Structure 1
Amino acid sequence: MNNVHETSKSQQFGLLPRLNRRQRTLLVILLAVALLFSVLSGALLISNDRLATNLEWRNAAPSLEHLFGTDWLGRDMFTRTLKGLALSVGVGMIAAGCSALIALVLGLSAATMGEAVDRIISWLIDLFLSVPHLVILILISFAMGGGIKGIIVGIAFTHWPSLARVIRAEVMQLRSAEYIQISRRLGKSRWWIARKHILPHFIPQLLVGLLLLFPHAILHEAAVTFIGMGLSPHQPAIGIILSESMRYLSSGMWWLAFFPGVSLLIVVRTFDSIGENLRMLIEPHHSHH
């Protein structure tokens, strides 16, 4: 009787039925994707006119005319932030994609190419994991002269070990599966088994791993650019915006660092949320109703 009363009461007030875990997860993913799409589309649609120097508007605080205020040259900080986020996301996507590809190749090779190859790749994984990512990334970027190329290569060669270790461990478990044993008895090669049986199994996990690499790639790109060893100062990157704003914080121009920094954290957290919720959908024990 109480349940009937509560149901009728919920219908009376127009309350939506409670969403199950899968529906909530899909809703979070859709909202996160919509947020990222709005940021990227906004960066492409907004004109570059507001990036031009306008000394009449220099050092203006946030207002309806300039939502994030203006900098010491009168440039609109909202436009600079959106352009910087789009650049960081683009660099992060390319670098994370290259890193995931390296992890896939090495992880599959370690698990399917024999013990000697497995020992070499496992040693490489341990070697890269023993040194902080940022240190190797700075060294690679510096050796390649910085810029977008140096950042992408640096991130790609420093963020693959964790994903490669996961792929290797799961392939090692799959090798004992009955259908793979049958393929071996039929004389199929290791690469044929990897392409036909193992790789399709890893496409969902690889997608999740790729999405979870994005936040690290974007943050590390911003960090290296912030210290002057990343993207060119002439590009509207978030790391450059934050680095330049440090000189003006003491004079009370807090908006120069606050809005770009918060926007970067929101975008990074959004990528992380998409990856985590997508993993909940893919893994059966996380996606039950």
Structure 2
Amino acid sequence: MRKQINQRQKAKILAAVVTVVLAAVTVCGILFTEAAMETDFLSRNQAPSAVHIFGTDWMGRDMLFRTLAGLSLSIRIGLLTAAISGAAALLIGIGAAVLGRKADASISWCIDLVMGIPHILLVMLISIACGRGFTGVVAGVALTHWPSLARVIRGEVLQLRQAPYILVAEKLGVSKMRISAVHMFPHLLPQFLTGTILLFPHAILHEASVTFLGFGLSSEQPAIGVILSESMQYLTTGKWWLALFPGLSLVLVVLLFAMLGERVRKLLDPASVHE
């Protein structure tokens, strides 16, 4: 009799497939970076065909290669910024709940302040202050995406502090640092991993948005934001493929990251063991 696949196994398979697809896009983008910069003026403004699946732009550059290179760059920036934001959120969330009321009040005020400013505006301001380019975009995105995850981790730590084994450890004189590392972190790991993965879609979209508006990556780089920004002036001439395929590819990558985060959340949820 054929064995039935439960929901947990389906989540594992789907998460593995999504991870492989995203990794393949990243690697292909790195390999095709030079090809994305090659120009061929004899093949300018060609519509999608068997030779150029995504068509070519006004300089004869293959849009498939440019899209893959742009997606790869966005994914790498997303990984870097999400890792920085996740680590900052973990430290800040634990510190707010462990270091006392004054520290909690100060950190909570900072979280409310950052969350009260429009995200894209804050990213642009930090990017400009850091000189734009790769460094500016990474700084802008990384320094603006930690508050929501920090607030979640803070709430979890406040609940854990009332657990009997935490109270016993405090009575026995165990340091706060050891309690946080040994007793609290294993319980925070599911929320931390899920939250960090779910930061990827936001990081990628904000990087592309800031670059599209001209406050991010330089125009020499084959970034998705640069591709979409340059394609706007050609849409009125009927060159629809210059924006359609890169835009759809960006949306697809964002959806894949969101799907991966949802599947990881299900896998880390103890209730899913019985599904």
Q: The TM-score by the shorter chain falls in which range?
A: over 0.9
Q: Rg bigger for which structure? A: 1
Distance change (3 Å), C-alpha of 1:57 and 1:285: same
Counterpart in 2 of 1:3?
none
> Structure 2: how far apart are the matches of 1:170 and 1:278?
18
- Aligned match for 2:31, one of 45, 61, 80: 45
Contact kept in structure 1, 2:8 and 2:273, CA below 8 Å? yes
What are the equivalent positions in structure 2 for 1:68-217 lying under 5 Å apart? 68-217=54-203
**3-state SS in 1 of match to 2:23:** helix
Counterpart in 2 of 1:255?
241
What TM-score results when the alignment is normalised by the length of structure 2?
0.96
- Aligned match for 1:283, one of 246, 269, 274: 269
> Structure 2: how far apart are the matches of 1:243 and 1:109?
41
Contact kept in structure 1, 2:55 and 2:63, CA below 8 Å? yes
Distance change (3 Å), C-alpha of 1:50 and 1:173: closer
> Structure 2: how far apart are the matches of 1:239 and 1:49?
19
Q: 2:217 matched to 1:231? A: yes
Query: Percent identity over the alignment?
Result: 49
- Aligned match for 1:34, one of 11, 20, 43: 20
Counterpart in 1 of 2:206?
220
Contact kept in structure 1, 2:98 and 2:176, CA below 8 Å? yes
Q: 1:66 Cα deviation (Å)?
A: 0.7
> Structure 1: how far apart are the matches of 2:119 and 2:247?
21
Contact kept in structure 2, 1:21 and 1:288, CA below 8 Å? no
> Structure 2: how far apart are the matches of 1:50 and 1:141?
26
Q: 1:170 Cα deviation (Å)?
A: 0.3
Q: 1:241 Cα deviation (Å)?
A: 0.2
- Unaligned 5+ residue runs, structure 2? none
Aligned length: 275
Range 211-220 or range 152-161, more displaced: 152-161
Q: 1:284 Cα deviation (Å)?
A: 1.8
Counterpart in 1 of 2:255?
269
Letter in 1 for 2:117: V
Contact kept in structure 2, 1:59 and 1:69, CA below 8 Å? yes
Distance change (3 Å), C-alpha of 1:44 and 1:162: same
What TM-score results when the alignment is normalised by the length of structure 1?
0.92
**3-state SS in 2 of match to 1:246:** helix
Q: 1:50 Cα deviation (Å)?
A: 5.0
CA displacement 1:100-128 (0-9 Å, x = unmatched): 11111110000100000000011111111
> Structure 2: how far apart are the matches of 1:279 and 1:183?
29
> Structure 2: how far apart are the matches of 1:32 and 1:205?
20
Letter in 1 for 2:228: L
Q: 1:130 Cα deviation (Å)?
A: 1.4
Contact kept in structure 1, 2:127 and 2:215, CA below 8 Å? yes
**3-state SS in 2 of match to 1:248:** helix
Q: 1:288 Cα deviation (Å)?
A: 2.7
Range 44-53 or range 274-283, more displaced: 44-53
Contact kept in structure 2, 1:59 and 1:70, CA below 8 Å? yes
Q: 1:45 Cα deviation (Å)?
A: 3.1
